[in-house]
Amino acid sequence: MSYVFGPVPSRRLGLSLGVDLIPPKTCTFDCLYCEVGRTTSKTIEPGPFVPFREVVYEIEKKLMKTEPDAVTLAGSGEPTLYSRINEVIDSIKEITEIKVALLTNGSLFWKEEIRRRVLKADIIMPTLSSAFEDTFRMIHRPHPGLELNIVVDGLKRLRKDYKGLLFLEIVLLAGINDTEKEVEGLKTVINRINPEKIQLNTVLRPPADKRAISLDRKRLEDIKVFLGEKAEIIAGVPVAAKKGKADTLIRDLLDMVKRRPLRSIDIVNAMGLSSDDVEDLVKGLLIKGYISRQEHSGEIYYLSNGKDI
Ligand code: SF4
């Protein structure tokens, strides 16, 4: 089993080496917009979901061959559920000076032990998509033990304890959390949390639920202006990337599309190949049945069929 994927182009971090700390699909939430699919194990109890030594060994091996901008702790679910995440952060820091980022839904920072485990990360990127309980429940379908006020309180406590960079992501969905009332509510709560950046996102890849509809660029721009100078739009920003080893290209490509659907341009950026090379690679994998195509918002995405080479 592979726990490390990429490097892949990240709209927020440049070239990011992903570390998958949670099996599909274990999460505290079951978001409408989730790209991994529906949550099959909804929990708020941390556990040793992946073998620590194997994970660290894979990270070390990969960093000998590649030089990403960040090592990103993520997962096919919520990574703060991994009970040894602090040891993974410590181990990465022993191996490299590359920044450690944590991609999280931000739902568990009200737990003191979870906050303590992540304090050495360089960048923490939690999500907060509404200031209203009903909307929070509609978007995230959280574990019954979670309420919005508990989650927000956790984010405020994290801000107090954590000395690194906090980039707060807002996933905006048309007709759900893009109204004036929603955006004003978010502004008030975000000001209290006081992150370094507010990163506006919307649905770009085929989501778990068809109700998750993208915002158009104009509305994203209006919300960005309203939220002030810390706000930026991260939806659809292309990122330059570097070239991978030829003999691992197919395996890397399959690894990437297993974790999230990708467009040709994402693959071009991730692997530093020409569009023609990517087209050939993808065509071969389609014919052999390793991947399939899906259209979303006028773009073609490639998805894994779950087969390994
Ligand atoms: S988007 Fe993230 S937080 Fe939401 S269900 Fe998927 S993995 Fe969990």
Specify the pLDDT at position 206: 66
Q: Determine the angle formed by the axes of helices 148-161 and 133-140, rounding to 10 degrees.
A: 90
Specify the pLDDT at position 286: 83
159 and 292 belong to one structural domain:
no
**Domain assignment of residue 240, yes or no:** no
203 and 102 belong to one structural domain:
yes
CA separation for the pair 269, 255 (Å, rounded): 15
276 and 184 belong to one structural domain:
no
Structure tokens at 127: 């999500």
Rounded to the nearest whole angstrom, what is the distance from the C-alpha of residue 295 to the centroid of ligand 1?
21
Range of the structural domain that residue 113 is part of: 4-233
Ligand 1 pocket test: which of 20, 22, 27, 173 has the largest number of ligand atoms within 8 Å of its C-beta?
27
**Ligand 1 and 201: CB distance under 6 A:** no
Q: Determine the angle formed by the axes of helices 264-271 and 275-287, rounding to 10 degrees.
A: 120
Specify the pLDDT at position 238: 35
Domain count, the chain: 2
Specify the pLDDT at position 239: 34
88 and 152 belong to one structural domain:
yes
**Ligand 1 and 36: CB distance under 6 A:** yes
Q: Which atom of ligand 1 is nearest to the CA of 30?
A: 5
Specify the pLDDT at position 149: 97
**Domain assignment of residue 32, yes or no:** yes
306: left (phi over 0), alpha (psi -120 to 50) or beta: left
CA separation for the pair 13, 272 (Å, rounded): 17
Q: Which atom of ligand 1 is nearest to the CA of 105?
A: 3
116 and 228 belong to one structural domain:
yes
Rounded to the nearest whole angstrom, what is the distance from the C-alpha of residue 44 to the centroid of ligand 1?
13
205 and 290 belong to one structural domain:
no
Specify the pLDDT at position 243: 41
Specify the pLDDT at position 272: 63
Rounded to the nearest whole angstrom, what is the distance from the C-alpha of residue 159 to the centroid of ligand 1?
22
203 and 275 belong to one structural domain:
no
Buried b (16+ CB within 10 A) or exposed e, 229-247: ebbebbbeeebebbebeee
Ligand 1 pocket test: which of 22, 30, 31, 205 has the largest number of ligand atoms within 8 Å of its C-beta?
31
Any idea what the CATH number is for the domain that residue 272 is in? 1.10.10.10
**Domain assignment of residue 219, yes or no:** yes
CA separation for the pair 288, 205 (Å, rounded): 23
> What parts of the chain have a pLDDT lower than 50?
237-246
267 and 227 belong to one structural domain:
no
Any idea what the CATH number is for the domain that residue 54 is in? 3.20.20.70
45-72 pLDDT per residue, tens:
999 999 999 999 999 999 998 888 999 9
10-26 pLDDT per residue, tens:
768 888 899 999 988 99
134 and 275 belong to one structural domain:
no
123 and 272 belong to one structural domain:
no
